[in-house]
Amino acid sequence: MGVLDALRKSGGRTELYECRNCGLELADDGKECPHCGSEEIAHYVF
């Protein structure tokens, strides 16, 4: 997902958490991705 797509889909949210391994958008800052188990979670602030 690109940054512009994330902003459009954010619905006014100012933060986005995303797995760097599989790209899954997470609801919050978890320790690991529930889909692939990666601990590489990106945190974007818009």
DSSP of 5-19, one letter per residue? HHHHHSTT--EEEEE
Whether residue 32 has pLDDT greater than 60: yes
Return the closest-CA partner of residue 43 out of 12, 8, 17: 17
Higher pLDDT, 35 or 12: 35
- Tell me if the pTM is above 0.85: no
At residue 45, the pLDDT reads 86
**pLDDT class for 38, splitting at 50, 70, 90?**
very high
Distances (CA, A) of 10 to 5, 18, 29: 8, 13, 16
Phi, psi of 16 (to 5 degrees): -140, 130
